[in-house]
C-alpha cells in the first residue's frame, strides 16, 4: 500500500500581497556588497537561499549559474508555520525568470561534502547561524571554492574584539529547553548581533574582509 506523502510543490500565489512584505533576509546595503563580490563569477553556491533574496541578488549581478541549497525549513516567526513545500515553491517561482541559470537543491548544507573540490567561483553561507553550524559550513564549503575564488557569508555584525566576551559566550552556547530539547540562539543583544557567525568566521580566518554585514575571504 502506498503512503501518502506531502507533494514537493504546492501552488503559492506570488502576487499575494501578504508575501510581498520584506521576506528577503538580505538588506539592500548587504545586497550591494554581495552583488559586487559576485559580479563576473561563473558558478556560485548560495547556501541558505530561503526564498531567493541572495540568489536573485547574484543573478541580477550577472552570475552564470547559481546553485541554491536550502533545507526549506523556514525561519522562526516569518511566514511560519508552513509546510516545507511552501518555501520550495516560493523559491522556485521567484527564481523562475532565471530558470536556465539556477539549480535548487532541497538539502542540508552538509551536502557540500559531496561537491567536487575547487569547483565554485564563490560560495555564500547564510544557513543556520548557530556557532557550531557556521563552523561546520565553513569547513565543508571552503574546499569547494576555487583558488582565487571567494568564500563569503552574511550577518557578520561586529568584529570579535568589539564584542562583550560574556555575551559572546552566552549566545554561542546551546541551552536546554523546558521539554529537555537542545536549543540555541541565532543572535543576541545589542541589535540582534550574530555571535555564532562572528566567532566561527574569526576562528577560521582571523580578520576577514567585511562590508556592511557581509564577510569574505579570497582563497589563495
Ligand X SMILES: C[S@@+](CC[C@H](N)C(=O)[O-])C[C@H]1O[C@@H](n2cnc3c(N)ncnc32)[C@H](O)[C@@H]1O
Chain positions contacting ligand X, by CB under 6 A:
24-26, 48-50, 53-54, 69-75, 108-109, 126-128
**Which residue number, 69 or 120, has a Cβ lying nearer to ligand X?**
69
Nearest CB to ligand X, comparing residues 50 and 156: 50
**Residue (19 or 71) nearer to ligand X, CB:** 71
Work out how close the CB of 180 gets to ligand X at its nearest, in angstroms, rounded to a whole number: 22
Query: What is the nearest approach in angstroms of ligand X to the Cβ of residue 84?
Result: 9
**Between 121 and 126, whose beta carbon lies closer to ligand X?**
126
Using DSSP, state whether 164 is helix, strand or coil: coil
110 DSSP 8-state letter: G
- Give the whole-angstrom CA distance, residue 91 versus residue 85: 10
3-class DSSP state for residue 103? strand
If the CB atoms of residues 110 and 164 are measured against ligand X, the closer one turns out to be 110
CA angle 186, 26, 217 (to 5 degrees): 80
Q: Which is nearer to ligand X, 49 or 149 (CB)?
A: 49
> Which helix (H) or strand (E) is 56 found in, with range?
helix 53-60
Task: Give me the least distance between CB of 53 and ligand X, in Å please.
Answer: 3
For the bound state, the minimum distance from the C-beta of residue 220 to ligand X, rounded and expressed in Å, comes to 26
Q: Closest approach of Cβ 68 to ligand X, in Å?
A: 9
**Smallest gap, in angstroms, from Cβ of residue 210 to ligand X?**
17
Torsion of CA 23, 25, 31, 37, to 10 degrees: -140
Query: Is residue 48 left, alpha or beta, with left meaning phi > 0 and alpha meaning psi from -120 to 50?
Result: left
What does the buried/exposed string (b/e) look like for 27-50 if buried means 16 or more CB atoms within 10 Å of the residue's CB?
Answer: eeebbebbbebbeebebbbbbbbb
* 130-111-195 Cα angle (round to 5): 15
Amino acid at each position: 500500500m502506498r503512503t501518502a506523502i506531502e507533494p514537493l510543490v504546492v501552488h503559492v500565489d506570488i502576487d499575494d500581497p501578504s508575501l510581498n512584505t520584506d521576506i528577503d533576509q538580505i538588506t539592500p546595503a548587504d545586497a550591494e556588497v554581495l552583488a559586487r563580490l559576485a559580479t563576473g563569477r561563473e558558478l556560485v553556491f548560495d547556501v541558505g537561499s530561503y526564498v531567493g533574496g541572495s540568489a536573485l541578488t547574484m543573478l541580477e549581478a550577472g552570475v552564470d549559474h547559481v546553485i541554491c541549497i536550502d533545507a526549506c525549513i523556514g525561519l522562526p516567526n516569518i511566514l511560519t508555520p508552513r509546510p516545507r513545500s511552501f518555501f520550495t515553491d516560493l523559491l522556485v517561482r521567484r527564481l523562475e525568470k532565471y530558470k536556465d541559470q539556477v539549480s535548487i537543491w532541497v538539502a542540508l548544507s552538509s551536502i557540500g561534502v559531496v561537491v567536487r573540490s575547487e569547483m565554485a567561483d564563490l560560495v555564500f553561507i547564510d544557513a543556520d547561524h548557530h556557532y557550531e553550524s557556521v563552523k561546520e559550513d565553513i569547513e565543508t564549503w571552503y574546499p569547494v571554492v576555487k583558488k582565487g575564488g571567494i568564500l563569503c557569508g552574511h550577518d557578520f555584525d561586529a568584529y570579535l574584539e568589539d564584542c562583550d566576551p560574556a555575551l559572546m559566550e552566552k549566545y554561542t552556547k546551546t541551552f536546554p529547553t523546558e521539554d529537555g530539547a537542545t536549543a540555541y540562539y541565532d543572535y543576541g543583544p545589542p541589535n540582534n548581533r550574530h555571535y555564532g557567525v562572528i566567532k566561527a568566521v574569526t576562528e577560521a580566518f582571523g580578520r576577514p574582509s567585511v562590508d556592511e554585514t557581509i564577510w569574505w575571504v579570497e582563497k589563495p
